[in-house]
């Protein structure tokens, strides 16, 4: 699976796509593949503040519950309401199924995240492939 080049990535397997001062956040295909069938997503409320590298929610699969970590700090401006009734959409297309949108507190935080090439290298080292 190719990772979109215009996204940035965390070592905790979240992605962010920045448009102006809004970042759209999701989990990577690698993460959803490792989790298996996703059955529930716990997200913050619109208006909540998230902090870079801190947990902002969780994703539950048939295998495990995993924390979600914010790639940047900011205020939540939207959550993907479709995931309440259909969390499995993440399994179908993790690269386009977003979790939340965040108004960036500091756009420079994005520069510290992994590029698609760096993330691909990181995951291959993690799996030994």
State the CATH number of the domain containing residue 80: 2.40.50.100
Q: Domain range spanning residue 79? A: 7-123
Q: What is the pLDDT of residues 70-82, one digit of tens each?
A: 999 999 999 999 9
Specify the number of domains making up the chain.
1
Measured over the CA atoms of residue 13, residue 38, residue 89 and residue 1, the dihedral's sign is: positive
**pTM for this prediction:** 0.96
Residue 108 neighbours by CB distance under 10 Å? 8
What are the residue ranges in the chain where pLDDT is below 70?
Answer: 1, 129
- Does residue 105 belong to any structural domain of this protein? yes
- Does residue 1 belong to any structural domain of this protein? no
Kind of pairing between the strands at 74-79 and 55-61? unpaired
Q: Which residues contact 129 (CB under 8 A, 6 or more apart)?
A: none
- Does residue 48 belong to any structural domain of this protein? yes
The mean pLDDT of the chain is: 96
Q: What is the pLDDT of residues 90-110, one digit of tens each?
A: 999 999 999 999 999 999 999
- Does residue 128 belong to any structural domain of this protein? no
């Amino acid at each position: 699976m190719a990772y979109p080049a215009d996204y940035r990535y965390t070592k905790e397997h979240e992605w962010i796509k920045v448009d102006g001062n809004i970042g759209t956040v999701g989990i990577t295909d690698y993460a959803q593949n490792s989790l298996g069938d996703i059955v529930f997503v716990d997200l913050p409320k619109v208006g909540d503040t998230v902090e870079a590298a801190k947990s902002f929610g969780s994703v539950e699969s048939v295998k495990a519950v995993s924390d979600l970590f914010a790639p940047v700090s900011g205020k939540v401006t939207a959550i993907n309401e479709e995931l309440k009734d259909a969390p499995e959409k993440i399994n179908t297309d993790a690269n386009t199924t977003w979790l939340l949108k965040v108004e960036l507190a500091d756009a420079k935080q994005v520069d510290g995240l992994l590029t698609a090439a760096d993330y691909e290298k990181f995951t291959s080292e993690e799996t030994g492939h």
